[in-house]
Amino acid sequence: MIREPIVANQFYPGIEKNLKEDIAKRLLNREKRERVLALIAPHAGYVYSGNVAGAVYSKAEITDDVIIMGPNHHGIGNPFAVMGNGEWKMPGGNIQINERLASLLVEESKWLSSDNQAHIQEHSIEVQLPFIQYVNPHIEFVPIVFGRADFEVCQEIGLSIARAINRYGKPVVIVSSTDMTHYESQESAKQKDKLAIDKVLALDPAGLLETVSNNNISMCGVIPTTITLVAAIELGAGKATLIDYATSGDVSGDYSYVVGYAGFIIQ
């Protein structure tokens, strides 16, 4: 199937020329990007979170094969849903799903399952694609969206992703799509987000999930981020680096009611 874009002209420009110009302004000039196992980037409208995403994609080398994981905001479809075939229509051109890698992921995990329906209305993966396609026009990818899960499930999926990547035999970058605290004051958001950020920097997936739960941090992509950390550690990650942090208030000027955005690379 061809999955149509749902937030073009809302979260990002829907015309290729305008989109490329927008992304180019958000990418920092770097002669050489760094090899990464994974990255974490926000998925709000580019006017709010695009500079944080741009800073991350300026830093990270994007391989030809990518796994992008995000939260399922709408709860449609299976709770651990892999879109295993087809392509995504984007302003910069259609992007193919890597069917072989998708199949390996489903084979390796008792939780992951093929489900296209879960992806049709979900924006968290779509918002990453223009940046990824700009940096590497040759990518194929596997999209996965997640509902709720405990750490045992996250660990199983993360380890299975690492096994699938090892079986695949070529470099794969994992992308976790998440925003941080939603709709609290700037002061509250920054305090809460620091707690979660510290757990990512410590490469502590169990601690991240526990911290977000215990402190009522409305980090929408905590499940894909926890799974990303598990997989990256299994693949040999030794450090995580915070590339940028901002809030919507930095753009709107309204610090009473903000959303937080953090971007990391994991190596």
CATH number at residue 86: 3.40.830.10
Return the exposure string of 183-199: e unless at least 16 CB atoms fall within 10 Å of the residue's CB, then b.
ebebeebbebbebbbeb
Calpha distance 165→188 (Å, rounded): 38
Q: How many domains does the chain have?
A: 1
Residue 262, CB-side half-sphere exposure with 13 Å CA sphere:
28
Q: Beta strand 95-96 with 87-88: parallel, antiparallel or unpaired?
A: antiparallel
Local structure of residue 12 (DSSP, 8 states): B
Helix (H) and strand (E) counts in the chain:
9, 12
Low-confidence ranges of the chain (pLDDT < 70): 30-31
The pLDDT value given to residue 214: 98
Contact 43, 23 (CB under 8 A): no
Q: Print the domain residue range for 232.
A: 2-266
pLDDT in tens, 4-17: 999 999 999 999 99
Q: Calculate the alpha carbon distances from 107 to 29, 133, 209 in Å.
A: 40, 27, 26
The pLDDT value given to residue 32: 81
Give the number of other Cβ atoms within 10 Å of residue 148's Cβ: 11
pLDDT in tens, 132-172: 999 999 999 999 999 999 999 999 999 999 999 999 999 99
Calpha distance 56→178 (Å, rounded): 13
